Structure 1
Amino acid sequence: MDIAYGPGEWPADWIRMQEGTETPLLRKSFRVDKPIQKAVLCGTALGVFELRLNGNKLGDSHLMPGWTDYRKRVYYQTFDVRERIVLGENVLGAILGDGWFAGYIGPFGDKGYYGHDARFSCVLMLEYEDGSEQTLVSGADWRAIEGPVLKSDLLMGEVYDARRDEAGWDAPGFDDSGWKEPRCLVPGEELLPEAIEPFPGTPIRTVDEIRAQSVSSPAAGISVFDMGQNMVGVAELKVQAPAGTRITLRFGEMLNENGTVYTDNLRAARATDVYIAKGGGEEIWTPRFTYHGFRYVQVEGLPDDLPIDTVTGMVWMSGLKETASFECSNGKVNQLFRNIQWGFRGNYLDVPTDCPQRDERLGWTGDTQMFIRSASYLADIRPFFDKWLVDLHDAQAADGGYPDYAPYLGRKGYASAAWADAGVICPHVLWQAYGDTDVIRKWWPQMKKYMELICTGDNRHNGPDAESYGDWLNIDAETPTRMIGLAYRAYDARLMQEMAAVIEEDDDYIHFTFEAEKSRKLFRDAFFQGSQVAVKTQTACALAIAMELLDGDDLEQAKNCLFQCLEESAGYLTTGFVGTGYLCPALTKAGRSDLAVQLLLNEGSPSWLFEVNNGATTIWERWNSWTKEDGFGDVSMNSFNHYAFGAVCEWMFESLAGFRPAAPGFERIVFEPCLTEKFDYVKAAYDSIQGRVSCHWKKVSNGWKLKIETPVPARVILPDAVESVDGGRHEFLVENRAVRLCEV
């Protein structure tokens, strides 16, 4: 039932309780008296919901139907329920929660930004073997009651009173005479979405279960479970306790000095679940309508000597197919890669959030475009971005500006350099990774409108009074906002030129060819003062080199300036969100992969391995989120799961391991590994759209041995030699600066 419904076309009512609970139970009993050959159920909510049929949950996803700008659209999920319908009585059930629609959302203190009350709606279409059809819809003939979920909120947590469980409420034979008629939304009473559409993305699922590694008791009545991994999802609780026992679970990423869970960095998010025991034996409970970012779970209200299996971590993310592996001889770098993976998993949850634990969890456009190249290696992200690019364009301003985050909540700004550019960069990366031009064609008019805005003489993005977040969280090396904007303007124009060519928009190709050159000149004029580099920061130089904005002597000066900046910082980075992802690729393009390797292997602060040495299992928001000397960083903004600085992952695949696409969709591949004495071996693999790509190089007594696997023709670039190979497996020996092709 892939039908998009416009205003007034959806055939079902939007229902909820008449009064009371935020999280009601809803049910509808119906009869089927003859064989069916098709049964399709479509469910949606202004809020979040779980659908049930004849006593069982439908599907394996969480927080349906996801987050959108509900004023513009909401999605429905479709279920084939033919095998679950029985002759006789059947029962449809739904549990409804506030979710993003009516709960707390973002860092602005808003509750009910879109609406005050969550609502559920569904359509069940039955086709019988005799050719007749029947449609059942949500409406006033359903029944409703306050359920055991007393409160549910994505930021605050969930409260569940197991004493209110009603066994069999969603199954045939249940007496619902004490239930009430639901309240149907009256047309015009509240704003409804402009469209109701089939869900285009990948639902949130449980992708892993983590058992606690240890449990401690820092104080009487408090037990702290260490999951061993900073993760995103919920905690499954297994207990035996007297009826009415109130059990509180608090979540955090770090511990205080006294061993309790650190929550100061959560700001207004309470991130607290409460379970009230039913009594009478073992009880197992998993929250439905909240999620947390956490490594530690603090349990209060039970005896101190709890078994370690009291808490199990249920890992949630959008259920994407993961596609990458990486391993090397340095265990700390391996942990860094795992940290990047876990940061990706925790923040690709319906929208690409910046962080999953505090009162924020927004789809920041800057973080998204900075990490998308890395993400495209880690998983097949196409369905995820099919959905999020709709969110982004729903939020696009009338003048073409893209917002700072999407879905948009009416706060912060538009057309911020390095943030708004996600509207151009994300479709380009998806085309390069998967070779599909549909994503370009779909959003081409909108991308052109954005370029029209930022290529004017006076705009917020790169004009004389440009405003943006700059090189966010840099280390005392501020790059002018306008410089960043001019770099992205020129870079965007080149990407538009490439995309115009592939979709055969000839006039646009000519236009963006001209605009790319004009914008490069504007950048060059700002980057230099006379013949000298005017902006001597690692970020400015890295953008100039990695984005290919300079040529000839200008480029050589930028390279030398970058080397000098690194020398002045004792070989350590000073970059923030904007510069970090470009820094190692720029050094490799500048012929100094050795300096990029040094940056990767640095262990002092600031560095990636400093975090690893201090127990990180995800990427931190700040280079100094925690230090032994100063403790925790600024509590107003200090996430321990924030993937932006993990953008080095792209360089780890494309340079350190050494493979990258030479044509969109990996139709051709280049292998150019960074052979360095700093590693005994490096190996990585990626399941591309063409097939498996892998590269494994290791030191041997007389040089390096290289093994590659490619599904398509490839070039292999090694010291003093370039080889062309067909698809398959190949080996090379780099010996005394010479290269031999070995038989596999």
Structure 2
Amino acid sequence: MHRFIIIAAIGATIGIGTVQAAVPALPETVGHRIDALPSDAWNCSKWIAVPGAPEKTTMTDDRSQRAADGASWFCLDLPNDKKVKKAVWMTAGLGVYQLYANGKPVGTEVLRPGFTHLVKTRRSFTYDITDAINRKKGAVNRLAVQSTPGWWADRIATPSGTIGMTGGKPAFRSVVEITYDDGTTIRRGTDTSWKAAVAGPVTHAGIYDGEAYDARIPMGYETASTFGNAEIYTRFDGEILPSDGAEVYIRPDLMLSPRNAYIWKGIADADDTHYGKVIIRRDYPTGNNITVNPGETLVVDFGQNAAAIPVFEFSAPEGTKLACHFAEILNDGNGAYSRGMDGPEGSAHLRNLRLGNDFFRLDYIFGHGGRTVSYKPDCTFYGYRYLTLTADAPVTIKSVKSLPVTSISSEMESGTITTGNADINRLISNTRWGQLSNYLSVPTDCPQRNERLGWTADTQVFAETGSFFADTDKFFHKWTRDLRDSQHPDGGYSPVAPGSMYCFEPFETTRLGWSDAGVIVPFIIWKQYADTAIINENWQAMEKYMDLLDGFNAEHNALTIYNNGCQWADWLSYEPLETKGGGIDREVDGRKVQRPEAREYWSYLQGCYWISNADMMAYMAHATGRDSSKYINMAQRARDYVRSRHLKADGTFRTDILNTMQTPALFALRTNIIAGPAKEKMKQRLRQNFKEHGNCLQTGFLGTSILMSTLTDNGMTDIAYELLLQHKNPSWLYSVDNGATTIWERWNSYTIEKGMGEADMNSFNHYAYGCVCQWMWNTMAGIQADPDAPGFRHIIMKPVPDKRIGSLKARYASAAGLIKSEWKYDGDLCTWNFTIPEGSTATVTLPVEGATPQIYSSGNHTITF
């Protein structure tokens, strides 16, 4: 039996912003997740691997190195000595693994075990498989496992310069617990009695590599009689913990149908500076019943960028080879070199993925004598809007869909917000799709290129936004474990968690705004969910980090042994002193030298995080019954130090260039290190700065995360709305105007005038700037948690409507219950309806001059102003 299924249409479903057509039926799974067996159950099992399984032995470099070929299979034929009452299977893997009971896939989770620290932690998955087995006495049930290198023995887990891959080769460990009708119980762990071989139709797989599948080869569980015995594998001796958050799922309810598809062959108008334009031979508006011939290329537009996998119904002569690549954007402008294009107009742009054509691909060889079959890759995922496909013999594609892959299950989605402004609604949708795409086992930066890593700054700037759209409590319990696993012994947090292909070095562990996620994320999760457990789990690690900052007064130059003498700071801003663009350097005697102003800027920003971290630590200490005086005193000491070190008495910065920038002023206002007339002058300078830039922001990752709320808190909500509704570059709506369906990494990832942004770092699904939606929830909708009564037991409701938005509807299933906020303009009057959940209260402040805060109790309320 192969992994193919009979096709059946199901009813139409609705995804986020997209009406879905009938989709192929997906394989049914058996078994259901249950709590893990007691941890001592692992004592009867060992890690097992396939003797002689392929392993990479050459050095891994920066831009290449595919994982080893083949999939490892493990099989056990388990006879029933008596009639079975219950069967439980507890499993763990080194590498992406799929489980089968009597040939049927087990569990709805995909890409198990997910991404964790290579040395310290693995996550286990336990299933009740009673209904999947033959329970009769004397029956024999076959348990089988396919394991491929992903998350373990591939590039994502291997730093440059490593000989081979960090994980070696795939391995598996499990315990089967059988309870018989007479009440007796046995446990059977993995050992050398399991059969093992490199087998099955998956001939290559990796998180970056993609998947190669040869349908002529039978599934491993069909050929177990030819396997040899497994060997004991000792490469991993870390802790196995039950998975309890951040599992990965496919989302059939969000299945995407093609918006358009076409076949091209041949190129016109190419010259020395242009790749030209593809010649379209046939259009397929619905993406169905497509024929692709040798020499032709199919391009499919799914209308939505997402982390996903394709689902095919197709047929071709046996042995036909099909190759797919995945792209976020198409080449344009007659393929102009000057616009950063990598091929003719109308072809898929792949350069921003940063690796060659051997990566991020899908290769499929047809079997089954030309019958129509269904296939989806199970060992990897892709980040794309466009699929491009070629074949060496005619292929008929009955249908092709895009199936989102995410750790945000439908049950986790908790909030919706819509407005009367179509552009803002598209921005909100882009943010939600960014979260769906990038909350995938870890909070990744992007799902498409050779990263897909848990970058900590991206995580912390978006954490509160994400908590409104989905219940992310358990997700971040899992990830903060990854963060602790990657923490330096002296206290600094890695900028990537779990440690992976980047940032294993000790001098990468005190990056301002990145390392601070170790304090910021637990605080946000506690504030949003009243979850003190996440504080307690992280307290020791957070204290160690705060002691490190405090011991060095958060001075960049004093922390160079941890930050390698450089900071990423306000990454990808449009301001001077931006690191990626080279603003931190000046030329001296023909060589680049780091500007001293940059080091001053970094010390100032690190000091501001020191202040805000200490404030958060004081809150969390109090919430968990700890003495908060240490952090109250630390926050005051930090404010005094940063104020005297970086500011003059009149509120201007001692380093002159900072007075020309938005981000330094925003942090000064955010951390309350300035007051009185000096504060008013800083606000005036900030207003003038926005005016001089045509009411455009100039901020990057860090400045944008505090931009809108800081403006609102300081009486500049009018500017915040101007920035939100701005269409010029840089702005949120500039990308919307250019067809974005997710948030871009750069404000100028693509511009009409110049084409593509820098190819070495240019993602079109990079969720960080979606943090603007936090302001929409907090200020536009007026729904904000109160850290004095977390988990929305008390709500701060200070909505600030705007006639240009017209109307707003927000629904949020908070930890305290459902919160609603709706407002709509009728002429100059605005009517606001809001709901406070049972047991909660709210401090309500209306956006009218002279309004005083009022306390409201639970229930539905209506106010017109």
Look up the match of 2:575. Answer: 476
Q: Does 1:486 align with 2:607?
A: yes
Q: Match for 1:206 among 250, 253, 262?
A: 250
What SS does structure 1 have at the residue aligned with 2:747? coil
What SS does structure 1 have at the residue aligned with 2:250? strand
Q: Does 1:312 align with 2:401?
A: yes
**Residue pair 2:85, 2:181 contacting (<8 A) in 1 also:** yes
Post-superposition Cα deviations, 1:417-464, rounded to whole Å, max 9, x if no partner, equal 110001111110011000111111221121111100011236665748
Q: Does 1:682 align with 2:776?
A: no
Q: Does 1:691 align with 2:817?
A: yes
Deviation at 1:610, TM superposition (A): 0.3
Q: Report the Cα distance in structure 2 between the residues aligned to 1:137 and 1:319, rounded to whole angstroms.
A: 32
**Residue pair 1:233, 1:292 contacting (<8 A) in 2 also:** yes
Post-superposition Cα deviations, 1:438-491, rounded to whole Å, max 9, x if no partner, equal 111221121111100011236665748663211000003337211110110000
Look up the match of 1:739. Answer: none
User: What is the TM-score when the length of structure 1 is the normalising length?
Assistant: 0.93
Q: Does 1:135 align with 2:230?
A: no
Q: Match for 2:73 among 22, 25, 29?
A: 25
Post-superposition Cα deviations, 1:225-247, rounded to whole Å, max 9, x if no partner, equal 10100010211122110001000
**Residue pair 1:142, 1:182 contacting (<8 A) in 2 also:** yes
Q: Does 1:368 align with 2:489?
A: no
Look up the match of 2:418. Answer: 327
**Residue pair 1:106, 1:362 contacting (<8 A) in 2 also:** no
Deviation at 1:561, TM superposition (A): 2.5
Q: Report the Cα distance in structure 2 between the residues aligned to 1:408 and 1:460, rounded to whole angstroms.
A: 25
Deviation larger for 316-325 or 350-359: 316-325
Matches within 5 A, 1:228-377: 228-257=303-332, 258-268=345-355, 270-278=359-367, 279-301=369-391, 310-320=399-409, 321-377=412-468
Q: Match for 2:155 among 97, 104, 120?
A: 104
**Cα 1:686–1:111 shift into 2, 3 Å:** farther
What SS does structure 2 have at the residue aligned with 1:235? strand
Look up the match of 2:263. Answer: 217
Look up the match of 1:148. Answer: 201
Q: Report the Cα distance in structure 2 between the residues aligned to 1:460 and 1:78, rounded to whole angstroms.
A: 47
Matches within 5 A, 1:618-657: 618-657=742-781
Q: Match for 1:122 among 174, 182, 201?
A: 174
Post-superposition Cα deviations, 1:60-87, rounded to whole Å, max 9, x if no partner, equal 1111111111311212100011222212
**Cα 1:477–1:707 shift into 2, 3 Å:** farther
What SS does structure 2 have at the residue aligned with 1:177? helix
- Give 2:76's aligned amino acid: K
Q: Match for 2:844 among 716, 732, 737?
A: 716
What SS does structure 1 have at the residue aligned with 2:216? helix
Q: Report the Cα distance in structure 1 between the residues aligned to 2:79 and 2:732, rounded to whole angstroms.
A: 61
Look up the match of 1:741. Answer: none
Q: Report the Cα distance in structure 2 between the residues aligned to 1:471 and 1:582, rounded to whole angstroms.
A: 11
**Cα 1:585–1:616 shift into 2, 3 Å:** same
- Give 2:566's aligned amino acid: E
Deviation larger for 589-598 or 36-45: 36-45
Look up the match of 2:241. Answer: 197
Look up the match of 2:741. Answer: 617
**Cα 1:8–1:241 shift into 2, 3 Å:** closer
**Residue pair 1:160, 1:276 contacting (<8 A) in 2 also:** yes
- Give 2:380's aligned amino acid: T
**Residue pair 2:408, 2:436 contacting (<8 A) in 1 also:** no
Q: Match for 1:529 among 645, 648, 656?
A: 648
- Give 1:212's aligned amino acid: P
Q: Does 1:55 align with 2:103?
A: yes
What SS does structure 1 have at the residue aligned with 2:437? helix
Deviation larger for 522-531 or 255-264: 522-531
Matches within 5 A, 1:27-42: 27-42=75-90
Q: Report the Cα distance in structure 2 between the residues aligned to 1:715 and 1:113, rounded to whole angstroms.
A: 55
**Residue pair 1:464, 1:482 contacting (<8 A) in 2 also:** no
- Taking only the aligned residue pairs, the percentage that are identical comes to 32
Q: Report the Cα distance in structure 2 between the residues aligned to 1:28 and 1:305, rounded to whole angstroms.
A: 38
**Cα 1:622–1:304 shift into 2, 3 Å:** farther
What SS does structure 1 have at the residue aligned with 2:418? strand
Deviation at 1:175, TM superposition (A): 6.5
Deviation at 1:695, TM superposition (A): 0.8
Q: Aligned-pair RMSD on alpha carbons?
A: 2.1
Q: Match for 2:115 among 67, 72, 84?
A: 67
- Give 1:490's aligned amino acid: I
Matches within 5 A, 1:355-504: 355-409=446-500, 410-411=504-505, 413-457=508-552, 461=556, 463=558, 467-478=566-577, 480-504=601-625
Q: Report the Cα distance in structure 2 between the residues aligned to 1:504 and 1:105, rounded to whole angstroms.
A: 40
Look up the match of 2:211. Answer: 158
Deviation at 1:7, TM superposition (A): 13
User: What is the TM-score when the length of structure 2 is the normalising length?
Assistant: 0.80
Deviation at 1:303, TM superposition (A): 7.4
**Cα 1:464–1:205 shift into 2, 3 Å:** closer
- Give 1:607's aligned amino acid: S
**Cα 1:193–1:727 shift into 2, 3 Å:** same
**Residue pair 2:352, 2:449 contacting (<8 A) in 1 also:** yes
What SS does structure 2 have at the residue aligned with 1:653? helix
**Cα 1:520–1:315 shift into 2, 3 Å:** same
**Cα 1:252–1:572 shift into 2, 3 Å:** same
**Residue pair 1:15, 1:139 contacting (<8 A) in 2 also:** no
Look up the match of 1:738. Answer: none
Q: Report the Cα distance in structure 2 between the residues aligned to 1:141 and 1:106, rounded to whole angstroms.
A: 30
Q: Report the Cα distance in structure 2 between the residues aligned to 1:305 and 1:23, rounded to whole angstroms.
A: 26
Q: Report the Cα distance in structure 2 between the residues aligned to 1:111 and 1:347, rounded to whole angstroms.
A: 30
Post-superposition Cα deviations, 1:716-735, rounded to whole Å, max 9, x if no partner, equal 2111333332211111010x
Deviation at 1:195, TM superposition (A): 1.3
Look up the match of 1:91. Answer: 142
Deviation at 1:113, TM superposition (A): 4.0
**Residue pair 1:222, 1:304 contacting (<8 A) in 2 also:** no
**Residue pair 1:102, 1:111 contacting (<8 A) in 2 also:** no
Look up the match of 1:742. Answer: none
**Cα 1:430–1:111 shift into 2, 3 Å:** farther
Look up the match of 1:737. Answer: none
- Give 1:676's aligned amino acid: D
**Residue pair 1:655, 1:672 contacting (<8 A) in 2 also:** yes
Deviation larger for 492-501 or 30-39: 30-39
- Give 1:30's aligned amino acid: L
What SS does structure 1 have at the residue aligned with 2:319? coil
Q: Report the Cα distance in structure 1 between the residues aligned to 2:482 and 2:47, rounded to whole angstroms.
A: 25
Deviation at 1:702, TM superposition (A): 4.5
Post-superposition Cα deviations, 1:634-667, rounded to whole Å, max 9, x if no partner, equal 1000000111111111001100122112330000
- Give 1:158's aligned amino acid: E
Q: Report the Cα distance in structure 2 between the residues aligned to 1:112 and 1:256, rounded to whole angstroms.
A: 36
Post-superposition Cα deviations, 1:135-165, rounded to whole Å, max 9, x if no partner, equal 2222222223411111001101110000002
**Cα 1:48–1:38 shift into 2, 3 Å:** same
Q: Report the Cα distance in structure 2 between the residues aligned to 1:352 and 1:462, rounded to whole angstroms.
A: 30
Q: Report the Cα distance in structure 2 between the residues aligned to 1:235 and 1:119, rounded to whole angstroms.
A: 27
**How many residues end up aligned between the 2 structures?**
722
Q: Does 1:513 align with 2:632?
A: yes
Deviation larger for 380-389 or 552-561: 552-561
- Give 1:264's aligned amino acid: R
